[in-house]
Amino acid sequence: MVIIKTPQQIELMAQAGKILAACHREIRQMIRPGITTLQIDSFADEFIQAHGAKAEQKGYHGYPFATCASVNNEICHGFPTQTPLQEGDIVTIDMVVNLNGWQADSAWSYPVGQISAKAEELLKVTKECLYMGIEKAIEGKRLGDISHAIQSHAESNNFSVVRDFTGHGIGQSMHEEPQVLHFGHSHRGLMLSEGMVFTIEPMINIGSYELTVDHNGWTARTVDGSLSAQYEHTIAITKNGPLVLTEQD
């Protein structure tokens, strides 16, 4: 069952989203060769708490950190580590902010210093996939319209779409219905209506979409070792079109 949110509830989620967006803006400034993802994780945890909110991922099904930090061929759920980031790396920071019981979720991929032209292209196309999906998040359209827009753009650029992780409804729980696939067919699936709130979070690989999960039980990485990127926003379906609750500008 999809839990429909009132405009007031969406406003509460937007307040969580603002804190999350501000945290990403700070992280963007911090990222450079030599910084560790554990330092970024501590910063995010403290930043979120200083704003009266909670880093919801910490302790979620036993996940040990405030953020997921997925470097290079890590697709998602990377553990923050003491290994310094290096020039040329890409790193995806994903986190969920809970403010007064209402949540927002956003992941962003960042370049570390100067990166390869291919990595730049991956970041650009993956971000475009997110926004092309968001454009379809309109009352009367269907979930498949979002899925298809993302898959078409990724594959027309010769990248692949990760199958095993999806977007999701969000509200007072991190994961609610519906599942939002990043691949699929137009005109299929759930019809979108006002008050639905969910994430769109395409994970796009340079090589194949096949993945393996590390022995820590969490970290997913590409089987072929190719780079993977991800951009994620929490969005609400409103009378006036898609409302991005985690926008950073």
Residues near ligand MF3 (CB under 6 A) are: 57, 60-61, 63, 68, 77, 94, 96, 105, 107, 168, 199, 201, 232
Q: Cβ closer to ligand MF3: 45 or 94?
A: 94
Chosen from ligand MF3, Co ion, none, partner binding at 63 (C-beta under 5 to 8 Å by type) = ligand MF3
Q: What is the largest CA-CA distance in the chain?
A: 48
Residue from 13, 55, 107, 150 that binds Co ion (CB under 5 A)?
107
Instruction: Please state the separation of Cα 163 from the chain's center in Å.
Output: 15
| Closer of 18 and 115 to ligand MF3 (Cβ) | 18
89 binds, among Co ion, ligand MF3, none (CB under 5 to 8 A by kind): none
Query: Least CB distance from residue 107 to Co ion, whole Å?
Result: 5
Between residues 115 and 222, which has the closer beta carbon with respect to ligand MF3?
222
What's the burial of 84, exposed, middle or buried (CB within 10 Å: 0-12/13-18/19+)? middle
Residue 199 Cβ vs ligand MF3, minimum distance, rounded to whole Å: 6
Among 94, 128, 145, 176, the residue binding Co ion under the rule CB under 5 A is 94
Amino acid at 47: F
Number of residues located near Co ion, criterion CB under 5 A: 4
- Closest to 234 (Cα-Cα) out of 36, 21, 57: 21
Nearer to ligand MF3, 57 or 228 (CB): 57
Q: At 210, phi and psi to the nearest 5?
A: -65, 140
From the list ligand MF3, Co ion, none, which binds 57 (C-beta under 5 to 8 Å, kind-based)? ligand MF3
Q: Which is nearer to ligand MF3, 91 or 115 (CB)?
A: 91
CB of 21 to Co ion, least distance (A): 13
- Partner whose footprint covers residue 26, from ligand MF3, Co ion, none (CB < 5 to 8 Å by kind): none
Residue type, 171: G
Q: Which CB atom, from 54 or from 115, has the smaller least distance to ligand MF3?
A: 54
Residue appearing with tokens 């995010």: 44
The 10 Å Cβ neighbour count of residue 90 is: 25
C-alpha pair distances (Å), 229 with each of 19, 82, 90, 103, 215? 23, 21, 8, 23, 21
DSSP state string for 161-220: E-SS--EEE-SSSSSEEEEE-SS--TT-SPBP-TT-EEEE--EEESS---EEE-TTS--E
Contacts to Co ion by CB under 5 A: 94, 105, 107, 232
